Structure 1
Amino acid sequence: MTRVVSLFLPTWSTDRARRKAGDAAPPPEVPLVLIERDGNRRVVLGADAAAQAAGLCIGMPATKAQVLVPGLIVEDADPAADAEGLDRLAVWILERIAPVVAPDPPDGIVIDSTGADHLHGGENAMLDGVIGRLAMSGIVARAAIADTWGAAHALARYRTRSTIVAAPGHEPSIIAPLPLEALRLPSSVSAGLRTLGFERIGDLLAQPRAPLALRFGPELGRRIDQALGDLAEPIKAIRPPDLIEVRQAFAEPIGAAETIARYIAKLVGQLCERLEECGFGARRLDLICHRVDNRAEAVRVGLATPVRDVKRLTRLLCEKIDTIEPGFGIEVLTLAATIAEPLERKETHNSLVEASFPDVSDLVDTLANRVGERAVYRLAPVASDVPERSVCRIPAMAAETGASWPGHWPRPSRLLPQPEPVETMALLPDQPPVSFTWRGIRRRVKRADGPERVFGEWWKRDAELVAVRDYFRVEDDAGERYWLYRAGDGEHAATGSHRWFLHGVFG
């Protein structure tokens, strides 16, 4: 089933202007509007959140806006730069999220995410990741995912939540309460419908189409059918100018898995030749199948390291054939190296004494494309005395950082995601517990070592200026070893709650 994401950027023009200004940009709490000339008038083309909260809106005369908001910052709009920036953002999303992405001017981007969400931990995680990355860059965004472009577009712009995930196969009722403007109708059509008493999309769904088409033309019915999924709305994907891409068109549509696999192998061979000419290897491949019904099926394959091995890339793509729905047939296949990086030609040596190292990148690629990139990772040390902050996840094939964990104090092989509270009996201030109860089971301590005192990181937040933890390694009657700590130094209440927690288990 097709799934489409609509990304709405409500203050795109002002966000782009602030990013361009850098340190010289006005503070976020100061209202900012962008204006352009409309004949002899100056009108507001863009308004940031502070300006909108003050009652300003797009299309308002600039003189009126300045009267309503004293101290308003007014700058010239640049629609061409806004459109160019939207294209660059679409390319950024193309490289990181899904194979089919297109700008949806003036303030949005549309993404065909069919089959790509599992690579990001699911649809909710995918949307949260996109919104979070944009927020870190100073761009306000909302996103919705639905079965059609029209439904996703309407939900993203006329619901107040930052992310909305409509269930696959959703009913038309999901957009029924939304206003008429959510159908992307011309303003004259919306005004005419309101004159007749229509306020919501649901008011139109039960009406006969012929009288509406006779009065308002075919556009109204087309938009309704697109939102409901009764009429296809193809997404014309953006293609960067330097994209390495090959294409195969068919005189007769194809649909059999064996035929698709055969042509995938041919396209991979052609693509690898192009990559070799440029001295690159593929880090991400996108196979787009253009169907005869104007829909596109896309397959994305990620690679941990740059690769241009024909057999390896063909195998990874062919493993995804069962996710392709050819429909009435595929008329064009497009294969692109969405991300390509320099790759030097490897020289072969026949020396018997040359050290050889196993290459596990093929295994990593296979696993990552089956369960998602986030599920395949390595752990790396971080310079921190606080145990839960001393480790981070890095890509499975990332280069060695050279950092290592300190070895002067033993650490458990299994660190719990969050310390779990336990009930204990212990003498203060520095004695280990005599027994403790964890997850409903009481364990008597046979041996113990400690305490190891860990102080808070005062440079992170004020609450850690006096925070203290005393860690103990304990062994119970069954020989199981645990890592417990007391929050506080056992004497002063300001250093912690003096409650006990279990933080890890030794192997």
Structure 2
Amino acid sequence: MKYRRILSVWFPRLGAERLLRQAPHLVEVPFAVVRESGQVQTLSSLSRAASRAGLYRDQPLRDAHAMCADLLTRPQQAHHEAAFLDALHRWAGRFSPRVAPEPPDALLLDLTGCAHLFGGEEALMARVAQDCTDMGLSVRMGAADTPGAAWALARHADTAPESHRNGDAIDQEARATRSRAGKRRHWERGGAAAPAVVTTPGRTGRIAAMGGTEAAISPLPIAALRVDAETVAQLSRVGLRRIGDLLDQPRAGLARRFGRPLLEQLDRAMGFVTEPLSPRNAPRRFATRLSFPDPIGLEEDMAAALDRMIPRLCIALKQQGYGARTLRLEAHRTDGIMQWVNVSLAAPSREADRIAPLMRMKLGDFEAGFGIDMLRLEAIRHEPLRETGPAGPAFSARRNGADMAMPDLIGRLGARIGLDAITRRHPGDSHIPEKGSVTLAAAWSEPAKDWPEPPRPRPVLLWRPEPVMAPDHPRLAETFRWRRREYRVTGRRGPERLSPEWWLDDPDWRSGQRDYWQVEVASGERLWLFYAHGWLMSSGWFCQGAFA
């Protein structure tokens, strides 16, 4: 029988150690990350020094300060922690091609067929532990045949089962009950658990023998099954504190009293029910940075740094076959403040000559303060980009030449006023005049190739219908009043009847069907007027546009 081998990698101090990597001088100081939970602030992640001071996760911040006056805290930044987990996801790809993130602080690796490349599971886990030590991260690992068992070993291999009873409650038991309890094995009355068939490479990981899932997880507390705390407390009240205690009980009784989710989690951990692993490719990251021996503060210095960083980024994009669509330049100042600007391109590109001018236009937005000691450039949005097309080099020449003139212009304008402010029109699929075209962002759309000919001439200018003072009759009078002016009709052409779209409730068309007329007036203007026959609104004459 072939077993799957799953490795659970848990980073119990991910939030705190992410920040300590940037401030290593705080490693020996009690440090914690604070999370907002409604109206209460709690500790979401702690350093080793904070744990040694007696603090614990999910502890209220007020209680933590009362216990440890020297505690330093920082607010939680969930999106930064998620990005850090993505970086660890890419790092874990060196050990297995199938890696699944477990937000907010763990990874699952499918080691099936991979462990022998590193000398076995123990050697692989030792390599993972060493890498994490080099990165300044705490890690706990568990390897087993199922994701549930690996998860349990990583988090609860060193956790003793807890009892809900205290000494006073035990003293109140009948003597006969205690007498019978004394004859049982010591681990069945709440003492040390029975030894498990688990190997231990160091103190950071536990390995369940292949096919030995039951022996490995039986001594673990029931919380290792990923069930809620209320169920764990109820089981503890009846003396079921270990996973092995559940395996000896009738399943029907457990399901009736504690619900089916408990048995489902037990079956997943034991492998009776297959628990799928959902690996995904680690997000691609294209970035480069440049540190300075002395802080800089001039635009010329930043431009010179960009001339070195942009080609490196373009080479990385070219090697992977991608083009940058949006770039972010970060400036890290000596006072700990980080500033950034985003620059978007109208078309994906990996050519330094096209990217550099746009980035230089944004350098004036930075405030150097006491100086900038590090710049970081990242392509936060990128798209696949082929260097050559079906036509070979000729295709590339067209793309690099005239075909890129408009995207370059849009990119330069967008760097000043924003790409969202640059739009283009495309034909719309509707007979309603105001829906005859749609407005699209120029940077994210291609030019319209063909404009269909309208069945009737359409005005050059179009606006929302404006009331016209004229008799309420389908036949326009010889004179009418519009925009506080009197007009005399010298010619008319029509009518063209249009009906509203019956499947839509458009407030502008609640006046019913319309009869459109091209009206020439004595002043030489050609207006587009219509008569609304009335439906939910009153009938009357309106002006909606003007011809050239």
The answer to whether the 8 A contact 1:432-1:449 is kept is no
Question: Residue 414 of structure 1 aligns with which residue?
Answer: 461
- Flag the 1:471–1:217 CA change in 2: closer, same or farther, 3 A: farther
Q: 2:427 aligns with which of 363, 372, 381?
A: 381
Instruction: Find the counterpart in structure 1 of residue 500 from structure 2.
Output: 456
What's the TM-score once normalised by structure 2's chain length? 0.47
Alpha-carbon contact 2:331-2:339 (below 8 Å) kept = yes
Q: Deviations over 1:266-292 (max 9, x none)?
A: 111111111111111111111111111
1:54-453 equivalences under 5 Å are 187=60, 189=62, 236=80, 238=83, 241=87, 242-346=284-388, 348-349=393-394, 359-397=405-443, 398-399=445-446, 404-416=451-463, 418-425=464-471, 428-429=473-474, 431-453=475-497
Shift of 1:447: 1.6
Structure 1 runs of 4+ off > 4 angstroms? 103-108, 185-188, 213-220, 233-237, 346-350, 352-358, 400-403, 462-466
User: Would you say the 8 A contact 1:457–1:465 is kept in 2?
Assistant: no
- Give 3-state SS (helix, strand or coil) of 1:424's partner: coil
Matched, 1:472 2:517: yes
1:504 aligned residue = 545
Q: What secondary structure does 2:430 align onto?
A: coil
Distance 1:187 1:447 in 2: 81
What is the TM-score normalised by the length of structure 1? 0.51
Structure 2 gap segments, 5+ residues each? 1-9, 11-32, 42-57, 88-283
Q: Matched residues, percent identical?
A: 31
The alpha-carbon distance between structure 1 residues 106 and 472, as it changes in their structure 2 partners (threshold 3 A), is farther
Identify the residue that residue 21 of structure 2 maps to in structure 1: none
- Alpha-carbon distance in structure 2 between the residues aligned to 1:466 and 1:305: 44
Is the 1:252–1:331 contact (alpha carbons within 8 Å) kept by the matching residues of 2?
yes
How far is the alpha carbon of 1:505 from its aligned partner? 1.8
The CA distance in 2 between the partners of 1:450 and 1:285, in whole Å, is 54
Contact 1:292 1:331 in 2 (8 A): yes
CA distance in 2, matches of 1:105, 1:447: 73
Q: CA deviation at 1:244?
A: 0.7
What amino acid maps onto 2:428 in structure 1? Answer: V
- Alpha-carbon deviations, 1:400-441, whole Å to 9, x = none? 56663442211111211x222232346x23x23433333322
Partners of 2:421 and 2:394 lie apart in 1 by: 35
Instruction: Tell me: CA distance 1:358–1:283, structure 2 relative to 1, closer, same or farther (3 Å).
Output: closer
> Residues 461 and 214 of structure 1: is their aligned pair in 2 closer, same or farther, counting only changes over 3 Å?
closer
> Which amino acid is 1:362 matched to?
D
Residue by residue, what CA displacement relative to the aligned partner does 1:361-405 show, whole Å, maximum 9, x if unpaired? 111111122112222111111111111222211232523566634
Contact 2:511 2:538 in 1 (8 A): no
Could you tell me whether the CA contact under 8 Å between 2:514 and 2:532 is conserved in 1?
yes
Confirm or deny: 8 A CA contact 1:424 1:433 kept in the other structure.
yes
1:257 & 1:234 partners in 2: Cα distance? 33
Amino acid of the structure 2 residue aligned with 1:502? C
CA distance in 2, matches of 1:462, 1:412: 22
Change (3 A) 1:260 1:357: closer
Q: CA deviation at 1:248?
A: 0.8
Structure 1: 5+ residue runs without aligned partners? 1-79, 81-102, 109-153, 155-184, 193-212, 227-232
* 1:482 and 1:504 in contact (8 A); partners too: yes
- Does structure 2 retain, via aligned residues, the 8 Å contact 1:455–1:466? no
Q: How far, CA to CA, are the matches of 1:358 and 1:335 in structure 2? A: 23
Question: Is the 1:249–1:332 Cα contact (8 Å) retained in structure 2?
Answer: yes
> In structure 1, how many angstroms separate the alpha carbons of the residues matched to 2:398 and 2:328?
41
Deviations 1:31-86 (A, max 9, x none): xxxxxxxxxxxxxxxxxxxxxxxxxxxxxxxxxxxxxxxxxxxxxxxxx9xxxxxx
Could you give the per-residue CA deviations for residues 463-486 of structure 1, whole angstroms, max 9, x where no partner exists? 869920111111222212221222
Quote how far apart the aligned CAs of 1:499 are: 2.3
Counterpart contact for 1:425–1:435, Cα < 8 Å: no
Per-residue deviation, 1:358: 7.0
Tell me if structure 2 keeps the 8 A contact 1:486–1:501.
Answer: yes
Greater RCO between the two (CA within 8 Å, min separation 6)? 1
User: Relative to structure 1, is the Cα distance of residues 312 and 400 closer, same or farther in structure 2, using a 3 angstrom cutoff?
Assistant: closer
After superposition, give the CA deviation of every residue in 1:121-150 in whole Å (9 maximum; x if it has no partner): xxxxxxxxxxxxxxxxxxxxxxxxxxxxxx
Quote the residue 1:130 is aligned against: none
Distance 1:433 1:271, change over 3 A: farther
Q: Which of 482, 494, 502 pairs up with 2:535?
A: 494
Name the CA shift for 1:358/1:309 in 2 (closer, same or farther; >3 Å).
closer
1:360 is displaced (CA, Å) by 1.0
Relative to structure 1, the CA distance from residue 462 to residue 287 in structure 2 (aligned partners, 3 Å threshold; closer, same or farther) is: closer
CA–CA separation in structure 2 for the residues paired with 1:265 and 1:453: 62
- Secondary structure class of the residue paired with 2:470: strand
